[in-house]
Amino acid sequence: MKIQSINPATEEVNKEFETMSKDEVLAIAKSVNEAFPAWSQTGLSERINFMKKLSVVFRQSADEYGRLITTEMGKPITQAKFELERCARMADTYAANAEAWLADEPVDFDGKRTFVAHQPIGTILGIMPWNFPFTQIMRFAIPTIIAGNTIVLRHSNVVPMCSMAAEQSFKRAGFPDNIFRSIITDHDAVKYLVKSKYIAGASLTGSVGAGKALATNAGKSLKKFVLELGGSDPFIVLEDADLDLTCEGAVRGRMANTGQSCICSKRFIVVKSVADDFTRRFVELMKSQKIGDTMDPSSQVGALASKQQLEIIERQVSELVSKGAKVMCGGKRAQMKGYFYEPTVLTNVKASIVAKEEIFGPVASVIVVKNEKEAIKVANKTMYGLGATVWTKDKERGERVAREIESGMVFVNDTVRADSRIPFGGVKESGIGRELSRYGLLEFTNTKSIVIG
């Protein structure tokens, strides 16, 4: 079967790829698994040196890989290049901290020499989405590899060129063969691979349905898994918020990556006394976002990653409008070639509808509430629990509200973002486990107690 890489901004075919058969996939996984023992026994200092070289590769290849990201998934070129800088920073963080984060932990235990060791478990399968073609991979791969594991990547078939380039980046950094390999294949082969003896665990970023399917397959084989799934992140605006700061944050939080991010703010829950003022300012700023040529460094809004993604957004907005939502700006496909959708703000939105279905594009839903108590209730009334933001001039109040939000991450007076220094992940149907920081580093290790009498 062939798949096509398509430029979302021009609708032209970049390249065609032949999907790998089940046997080809298993052969690659076997090679990666065979490379694991030597890599796991490589000294940590040497693994750290490889990671430092990878950081250099990302910075040196930012123009090349950035153009590839833009060409394949439609991200504005400035944002695409910044992806590579973020990857470099991740590599730097783990190179600087891996020794301390993986160090044996002494335990006071009956006078015996006792400690907890963290050891790699094998070859890990990464199943990754298209929205951040490099950073999404690396926030899983960098800690997993520096811990001593090896990786097979099954990237989204929307971005096969980026998948191959990710493998290339490890080769450019001089890593041994088969430490990181990419496969291009169908879902059936992936399902078979999860059950194979070559895979010790799996990490998936994707939809709730995909996460449940992986959990079922991995569970049958008693294999460790980490899931980073969807989000319908609340953006809570309290009556004492600084609206200049808040509205700028609202645009940044909703429009990052053209709204195609699990941690983008999606439900704007605003206390009634400031709702009109907030909405007016928010709409003005959304209208000012520059949409157009994705290779133009001044462009702020890119194309949606695929025709299917564009059609989903059109359907979702149409359904919300049919149920009473009012379009304050945007609300339609942009009048240009490519899969572009105008930055959109909807008011009079039924909170229960947007709480159930993630809107993965440049569409903001404003929900008006009476007070802080109702804002928290509406924020938590969703199956998701990934990220959230709270906006208030009172930092103590912000912290108190943050503690009441059912979410893996809450930022007060700032937008949610992934950073290798803090754990990333969600609760409820937004996922299981953590990425990034020391917590992400230890996910695919055997936490082993050693007692010497």
Beta carbons of 426 and 97 less than 8 angstroms apart:
no
Measured distance between the N- and C-terminal CA atoms of the chain, rounded to whole angstroms? 59
Catalytic residue among 87, 262, 358, 372: 262
Phi, psi angles (nearest 5°) of residue 197: -75, -10
Active site residue 262: yes
Active site residue 228: yes
* Residue type at 95 in one-letter notation: A
The full 3-state SS of the chain, as one line of letters, equals CEEEEECCCCCCEEEEEECCCHHHHHHHHHHHHHHHHHHHHCCHHHHHHHHHHHHHHHHHCHHHHHHHHHHHHCCCHHHHHHHHHHHHHHHHHHHHHHHHHCCCEECCECCEEEEEEEEECCEEEEEECCCCCCHHHHHHHHHHHHCCCEEEEEECCCCHHHHHHHHHHHHHCCCCCCCEEEECCCHHHHHHHHHCCCCCEEEEECCHHHHHHHHHHHHHCCCEEEEECCCCEEEEECCCCCHHHHHHHHHHHHHHHHHCCCCCEEEEEEEHHHHHHHHHHHHHHHHCCCECCCCCCCCCECCCCCHHHHHHHHHHHHHHHHCCCEEEECCCECCCCCCCECCEEEECCCHHHHHHCCCCCCEEEEEEECCHHHHHHHHHCCCCCCEEEEECCCHHHHHHHHHHCCCCEEEECCCCCCCCCCCECCCHHHEECCECHHHHHHCCEEEEEEEEC
Catalytic residue among 72, 83, 167, 228: 228
d(Cα 93, Cα 104) in Å, to the nearest integer? 19
d(Cα 126, Cα 382) in Å, to the nearest integer? 27
What amino acid positions are annotated as catalytic residues?
228, 262
